[in-house]
Structure 1
Amino acid sequence: MKILNKIALLAAFIFIGVNVSFAQTKAEKKAAKQAEIKKMIDDQNFVFKANYALPMRGGTRPLTSDYDITISKDTIVSFLPYFGRAYVAPPPGTTDGGIKVNTTKFTYSSTPKGKGWNITIKPKEKNIADWRDVQTFNLSISQDGYGSLQVISSNRDPISFNGYVEARKTK
C-alpha cells in the first residue's frame, strides 16, 4: 500500500509540474504576442481583418469573405463592405461599392488607451463629388490584437467593424 501512495504522490507532483510549466509557456506566448502587436502599431505596419460589420441601421452581419484595411507608413488600402444609407447616389452603371480607399496622402495618429491603442487615420484626398468619400478611420485595438474600426464618410451613414490585427505580409 505504501508503494501505491508513493506512486500517487509522485504522479500528483508530475501533474502539478506540467501544469505550472504549461502556464509559464502560455504566459510567455501571450507576452510575446502583445509585444508583437505593440511593435506593429508603433511601426505603422499591420492589417486589420474585419470579421463582423455593424451598420448604423440593422443588425450585426458576419463577414464571410476577406475584408481588411492595410496600414503602412506610406499607404492606406481598404477593402471593406458597406451596409447602410448613402445620401448621394453612385453614378449610373456603377457596380463598385463598399469602402475602397487607396491613398498615400493621410495622417496617422496613435494614442495609448488603457492596455490598447486608439488610432485615427484621416485621408487627405477630399473629393466631395465622390459618393464614397471617407473622412476618418477610427481604430481601437486591444493589447491582444482584437479591434474595432469605425468608418466615417461624408455622404454615408457611419459603419463599424469588429476584427483583429495581424502582421502585414510583404511581397
Structure 2
Amino acid sequence: MKRLNLILGLSLLFIGIQSFAQTDKETTVKIVADKNYVFVANSAMPMSNNDISKVLNMMPGGQGGASINLSGSQYDVRVTKDSVVAYLPYYGRSFSAPMDPSQGGIKFTSKDFTYTESKNKKGAYTILINTKDVKRENYRFTINISTNGYASLTASSINKQPILFNGYLDEPKKKD
C-alpha cells in the first residue's frame, strides 16, 4: 500500500499537474531549507473505492474516482518552523464525522509536530509531517517536492481514508 501510494503520487506529480511551476530551483531549495513555504492545492484525488466513485460520478462533470479540480480555490497548507496550518477539503470515507458540518475537511493549526526531510540524488524532497496536538485526530502528511516547485501531498489519519493533493510550493506572502 505504501509503495502503491508512492508510485501513484509520483506518477500524478509528473503527468497530471495542470499549472506551471511557481518557483524556480533556487527558490524551492531556499524555502524548503528555511521551513517556510505554502503548499497550494490544484487538485484532489481520493483513494477511492466503489462508494466514492459512485458519488463522484453523480457530481457535475463527474469522472468517477478521478481527480477533482481545485484550481482557483484557496486550499493550502502553510508550513513554518513552529507551526503547520492546513485548510484542505476532504473527499472520501471518514470513519468518524464531526457533529458540526462546518468542521469537515482537513482544517487545523498544529504547534506540536515532527518534521522529517530527505532529499534524493536528483534534488527532489520528501517531507514527512506528523501532528501531535490536533484535537479530533492527528494527521500524517507526506509531501513530495520536485526541484521546480511541483508537489504532491498525501494526507492520512486513523479516522479517514488517505487523499492525495497535487499542486505547487509557493513563498508565503509578506505581511505589510
Q: TM-score, normalised by structure 1?
A: 0.75
Q: Quote the Cα distance in structure 2 between the aligned partners of 1:147 and 1:103.
A: 21
The equivalent residue for 1:5 is none
Q: TM-score, normalised by structure 2?
A: 0.73
The equivalent residue for 1:95 is 102
The Cα RMSD (Å) is: 1.7
SS at match of 1:40: helix
Identity, % of aligned pairs?
38
The equivalent residue for 1:56 is 47
Residue 138 of structure 2, aligned match among 109, 134, 137: 134
Q: Structure 1: any 5+ residue segments left out of the alignment?
A: 1-29
Structure number with higher relative contact order (C-alpha < 8 Å, ≥ 6 residues apart): 2
Residue 131 of structure 2, aligned match among 123, 126, 137: 123
Aligned residues, how many?
Answer: 136
Alpha-carbon displacement from aligned partner over 1:85-125 (angstroms, at most 9, x marks no partner): 0011322x432211012011111111002321000111111
Q: Are positions 1:34 and 2:34 aligned together?
A: no
Q: Bigger radius of gyration, 1 or 2?
A: 1
Amino acid at match of 1:112: K
| Structure with greater strand percent | 1
Q: Quote the Cα distance in structure 2 between the aligned partners of 1:90 and 1:126.
A: 14
Amino acid at match of 1:158: P
The equivalent residue for 1:11 is none
| Structure with greater helix percent | 1
- Matching of residues 1-171 of structure 1 within 5 Å: 33-57=24-48, 58-64=65-71, 65-91=73-99, 93-113=100-120, 114-125=122-133, 127=135, 130=136, 133-171=137-175
The equivalent residue for 1:25 is none
